[in-house]
Structure 1
C-alpha cells in the first residue's frame, strides 16, 4: 500500500494573513476618518475666527467714522450759532443808532419802518438761533449714546420697536438653540468648548442686539438684563443689583461684558424669566424678549430628550400666564427651523400686551 505524505499544518496560512490584513486596513481607515474630521473642524474654527476678526475691524472703522461725522456736525452747528449771534449784535447796534439819532419827520417815519423791519429780522434770527441750539443739543445727545453702535440712526424708526420706558427689562435666551439657525449645526456647535460657543454667529447677533437696544434707549431709562436657558440668571454690575441707569456708562459696559462671556447651552424654559419679571420691585414698564422659539421645557424640567410642537405650545401657554399684567412685551425672534408656531404666538403676545414683534434680517442690527 502506497504511503501518503501528511500535509504540514502552518499557523501562518492564507486565512490568518487575510484576517491580519483586514484588521490592519480597518485601523488605517479609522485613522484616515479621524484625521479628516479633525482637519475639517480646524478649518471651520479658523473660518469662524477670521470672520469675527473681519467684522470687528469693520465695526471699528464704521464707529470711528460715526464719531468724526458727529463731531463735524456739532462744529457746523456751533459756527452757525456764532454767525447768528454776530448778526443779531450788528442789528442791535444799528437799532440803537437809529433810535438815538435826531431826524426830521419824514426821516423819523423811514427810521420807524426800518426799526420795525429790524425788529422783525431780530425775531427771525432769534427763532433760527433757538432751532440751531436745539439741533446742536440733539446732535450732542446722539453722540452720548450709552454705547456707540454701528447702524443706529434710522433703524430705530424702521423696526417699530418700543424703545421707551423708565424701567426696561431685557430677557435674553441663552439656550443651545441660540448657537445656530439649523438644528444640525446646533448639535455640532453645542459640543464645542465655551470659547467657540460664545463665538457662534447667532449668539453674537443676540449680544449685539442687546447693545443696540441699550444704545437707543432714552437717557432717562434704567435696565436689567436677565439671560435664561433651563434657569434664569440676573446679570449685575458693580454694587448694583437692581435697576441700572443707562447713563452709568462703566457699569453698563461691565454688564454687556458679562453677557459676552455667556456660552449658550441647555434647553429653553420661559416660565422662570417670566416669573422673575413678575416679582421685580419696582416692576418693569417695558420688556424686551430676545429668543429663537417656543420653550422646550417647563418649571418641572425636561421629561424626555425629545418634544413635539404641540407640547411646546402648551409650555408657552403656561409660561405667559406668569407675565406681569399690563406690561408691553416686545419680542425679537431669531427663528430656528422646526418651530413654525413661534412667530404667530409671539406676534399675538405683542398684540395682546400692546408691545411689538420683530423677526430681523440676518444683517441686523
Structure 2
C-alpha cells in the first residue's frame, strides 16, 4: 500500500515537471513574440518609406511617360503638317514646271515666227558702215519734199578743244581733213543723205567764210548718183576759216527749201551786215574792226542778227550740234531757233554715227 502511494506520488511529480516545462515554454514563446512585436514598427516604417519611394518613382515615371506621349503626339502633328506642306510644294512645283514648259513652247513659237518674218530690203541711198542702226535718232528723221543740208566747214570742225583747233590751223591740209571731228562731220552728212525720202529733192551747202553747193547746182533728185556726187565734193573740202552762217543761210534761202538740216558746232564768228551801224554791236570790236577774236556775247548777238536777216520763215529747221569747247550759249540759241519752226536740236553721243 505504501509502495502504491509512492508510485502515484512519483507520477504526480513527473506530471508537474512536464507541466512546469510546458508553462516555461509558453512563457518563453510569449517573451519571444513580445520582443518581435516591439521590433516590427521600425521595419514597418522602413517598408512604408520604401513603398513611398516606389510610388514616387512610379509617379515620376508616369509623368515622364505622359510628357513623352504628349511630345510624340505633337511631333506626329508637326510631321503631318510637314508632309502636307511637302505635298503642296510638290504640287506647286508641278504647276511651275507645267508653266515653264508652256512658256518654253511659246518662246520657241515666237522664235520661229521671228525667223519667218521677211526683212524689208534696205532702202538707203548709200551704204553706211553702222550696224543695226535706226532710221532716226532721238526723233530726228529725214523728211520733206525739198531738203537742204547746211554743213559747217570752218576750222573749228576739226577738233573739239580750242588748243587742238589752233594747232590744226597751222598744220597741213592732210592733217585737217584727217582730223577726227571732220571725219565725223562727213559721216553725219552721209547718214542724213542715206535716209532722204526717194521722192524728195536734196541740196548740200558747205559754208565757212563763204558758201558753195556741193555736187552740182540747184535741186537734185534723192538718188545714189546724186549722193555719190555730193560726198565726192565734200571729200575735196578742207575745213578752214571763220564761221559765216549768214553766207550759208543766204545760199540756202535762194532754193526755198521745205526742211533745213544744219550741221555745226557753235555760234557764228563772222557775218555780212554793216555792224558799225547796228546799235547792239557797239561793244563788239571784233565785228566793227579787224580784231581776230570774238566774245561769247557778241557771237550770240551775231547769231540772232543772222537769223533775223536770213529770211527763212517757212522752212522747218533742225540742228545737229557737234561739241566745241568754250561756246556754252550755242545749244540754247540753236534750240530756240529750231523749236520756233517745230524743228529739233540734237547733240549726239560721241560714238554716233
Indicate whether the TM-score tops 0.5.
yes
* 1:288 and 2:275 correspond: no
Residue 354 of structure 1 and its aligned partner are, at CA, apart by 1.1
Match of 2:245 among 270, 275, 286: 270
Show structure 1 runs of 5+ residues with no match. 1-75, 81-131
Question: Aligned partners of 2:351, 2:302: CA distance in 1, in Å?
Answer: 31
Question: Aligned partners of 1:323, 1:147: CA distance in 2, in Å?
Answer: 32
Residue 153 of structure 1 and its aligned partner are, at CA, apart by 4.9
Question: Aligned partners of 1:310, 1:173: CA distance in 2, in Å?
Answer: 21
TM-score (norm 1): 0.58
* 1:309 and 2:296 correspond: yes
Measured against aligned partners, the alpha-carbon deviations of 1:99-152 in whole angstroms (never above 9, x if no partner) come to xxxxxxxxxxxxxxxxxxxxxxxxxxxxxxxxx7xx56xx12x1x411111337
Match of 1:329 among 292, 317, 336: 317
Match of 1:353 among 323, 341, 348: 341
Residue 250 of structure 1 and its aligned partner are, at CA, apart by 2.5
In structure 2, the partner of 1:340 is 328
Question: Aligned partners of 1:278, 1:251: CA distance in 2, in Å?
Answer: 21
Which consecutive aligned stretches of 4+ in structure 1 deviate over 3 angstroms post-superposition? 152-158, 300-303
In structure 2, the partner of 1:195 is 174
In structure 2, the partner of 1:186 is 165
Contact 2:244 2:270 in 1 (8 A): yes
Question: Aligned partners of 2:158, 2:193: CA distance in 1, in Å?
Answer: 22
The 3 A distance-change label for structure 1 pair 172 and 152 is farther
Measured against aligned partners, the alpha-carbon deviations of 1:38-83 in whole angstroms (never above 9, x if no partner) come to xxxxxxxxxxxxxxxxxxxxxxxxxxxxxxxxxxxxxx99x97xxx
In structure 2, the partner of 1:106 is none
* 1:207 and 2:182 correspond: no
Show structure 2 runs of 5+ residues with no match. 1-111, 275-286
Matches of residues 94-133 of structure 1 in structure 2 within 5 Å?
none
Equivalent pairs counted in the alignment come to 226
Question: Aligned partners of 1:300, 1:231: CA distance in 2, in Å?
Answer: 14
TM-score (norm 2): 0.60
Match of 1:219 among 198, 213, 219: 198
Measured against aligned partners, the alpha-carbon deviations of 1:249-286 in whole angstroms (never above 9, x if no partner) come to 22321210110111111100111111122222xx2111
In structure 2, the partner of 1:167 is 146
Structure with bigger gyration radius = 2
Contact 1:162 1:355 in 2 (8 A): no
Residue 315 of structure 1 and its aligned partner are, at CA, apart by 0.6
